[in-house]
């Protein structure tokens, strides 16, 4: 897998605000963790693409200027970490673990307060 190409596609998907394009990177049974999700959907650990669709759909509506710029991509065994800055210049990171089909099966989001 070309992790650099994945990070560019991930960034472009988010910046398009096309929810289905964003979700195309994730498996149907993905597990996603983020304390920001608690604010939108009341839970910091989401299970499945439908839960992500609900959370990210709400987040995109609430933040119409949302955009990401990838800062760095760190490679691991079957996983990567994307560090990026958002539209508010907040540094954040996503740790993504991939299944054998190349889709994200587990993801965790972190950011500076």
pTM metric for this prediction: 0.92
Burial, 101: exposed, middle or buried (Cβ in 10 Å; 0-12, 13-18, 19+)? exposed
**85 vs 103: CA distance, rounded Å:** 23
Burial, 41: exposed, middle or buried (Cβ in 10 Å; 0-12, 13-18, 19+)? middle
Average pLDDT, the chain: 94
Contact criterion met (CB below 8 Å) for 6 and 13: no
Q: How confident is the model at residue 111 (pLDDT cuts 50, 70, 90)?
A: confident
Contact criterion met (CB below 8 Å) for 13 and 96: no
**Tens digit of pLDDT for each residue in 28-77?**
999 999 988 888 778 889 999 999 999 999 899 999 999 999 999 999 99
pLDDT at 38: 82
């Amino acid at each position: 897998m070309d992790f650099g190409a994945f990070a560019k596609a991930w960034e472009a998907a988010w910046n398009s605000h096309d929810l289905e394009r964003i979700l195309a990177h994730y498996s149907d049974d993905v597990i996603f963790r983020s304390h920001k999700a608690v604010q939108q959907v009341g839970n910091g650990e989401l299970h499945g693409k439908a839960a992500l669709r609900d959370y990210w759909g709400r987040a995109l509506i609430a933040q119409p200027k949302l955009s990401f710029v990838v800062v760095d991509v760190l490679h691991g065994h079957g996983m990567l970490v994307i560090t990026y800055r958002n539209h508010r210049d907040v540094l954040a990171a996503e740790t993504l673990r991939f299944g054998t089909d190349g889709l994200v099966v587990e993801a965790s989001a972190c950011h500076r307060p």
